[in-house]
Structures are given as C-alpha cells and as structure tokens.
Structure 1
Amino acid sequence: MIERKQLKERTQVTFVLPEGTPEGPVSVVGDFNHWNPAAHPLEPQGNGTRAAKVTLPAHTSHAFRYLAAGDYWFNDEHADSHDGTNSRIHT
C-alpha cells in the first residue's frame, strides 16, 4: 500500500507492507535514494505492518522497487504504474 500526504511543495510518501510478507528485512529503493538499500528500510509499526516514509518534490515521477532478504526484488501492486521493470509513483 502507498499512502500520500501533500505538504507545501512536497509529497510525503509512505510505503507500507504487511509485517511478515516477505519475511526478513525489506527496504524501498529507487531513483529518489540512488537505489541505496540502507537509505529507507521498512520499520515495524504498531498495527502489524512495516513502513518507510520518503518526502519527494510534488508533481514528479519516480521509479522504485522493494528489496528483501536474499536479494529478492519485487514491485508494488499498488503503484501508480509500472515501466516494465520498476514500479512508479507520481507525486
């Protein structure tokens, strides 16, 4: 799931996954963090999910994917679109 909160000229995007699916650590990586898995790890939330927040410029488009343990890459089915390899979010 992807949540958005409009700020003045930015959009706060929260990437949300169920706590144990997939198992192990998961990060959201994309062009907004230079595909760095250490930049935005998903952290456990009190409601049984895990999430990471990223603040992006408004009215932009970004490629991203999730990276889980074991070098398992996957896309977000709730993304705004897909470009063949990556999920895409539009702020």
Structure 2
Amino acid sequence: MSLDKRYLKSKPVCKVKFIAPEPLVERSKKIFLAGEFNEWDYENAPLRKQKDGTYATTIDLETGKEYEYRYVLDGECWENDYDADKYVPNTCGADNSVVVV
C-alpha cells in the first residue's frame, strides 16, 4: 500500500500519506514527492523515514479531486507509484501517478 487516506469529518479535506514503494527506497538515498498539489516543486516535499522503516510524507488534499504526482529519487530520477489509484499520460511521453480523493 503506497497511499493511506484519512478523510476529515469536520471539513472537505483528506490527509493522504504517500508511502514510497520499497524498490524505490532501495535505489535511492533521498526521496521527494512532486505533484500538482505542490506545483511539482519536489525540494519542499521530502519523504522522511518512519518508525516502521518506510519513507513517507502526509499532505492535506481537497476532496472530490484528482491529483497527479511522481516520486523523485535523489533529485534526478522521476518514478511512478506502483499502487497509484490510476495513471495518466504526461507531456514527457511517460505516465503520471494519480491519487483520487
């Protein structure tokens, strides 16, 4: 599971925890999250090592929307989430991962 969604009852927000797939963790020293929610600026969205050994970050996203995203390994290699809700083509000839909230 690479996405953990927790919907808030008090407002139309979903706390989405993005968890890097294990093969990506093994291939990199630093993992970042880039997407529409942060204007693809990955430097401000590093994943941090969790108590269970996974690397993750949590972002509040407005419900009723879809957001494209990708993981950035060591600031160079852009990778998809193996367990994304769906995928859409991007302008670089590849696909972007999509989270639906």
Tell me which interval the TM-score lies in, with the shorter structure as reference length.
over 0.9
In structure 1, the partner of 2:99 is 89
TM (norm. structure 2) is 0.84
Larger CA Rg, structure 1 vs 2? 2
Aligned with residue 56 of structure 2, among 46, 51, 58: 51
Aligned sequence identity (%): 27
Q: Which has the higher strand share?
A: 1
* TM-score for the superposition, normalised by structure 1: 0.92
Report the aligned-residue RMSD. Answer: 1.4
The 1:57/1:70 distance shift into structure 2, 3 A limit, reads: closer
8 Å CA contact retained: 1:42, 1:51 = yes
Could you list the per-position Cα deviations for residues 26-85 of structure 1 after superposition, in whole angstroms to 9, with x for gaps in the alignment? 111000000001221100011010101110001110000000115111000110000022
Which structure has greater helix proportion?
2
Give structure 1 stretches of 5+ with no counterpart: none
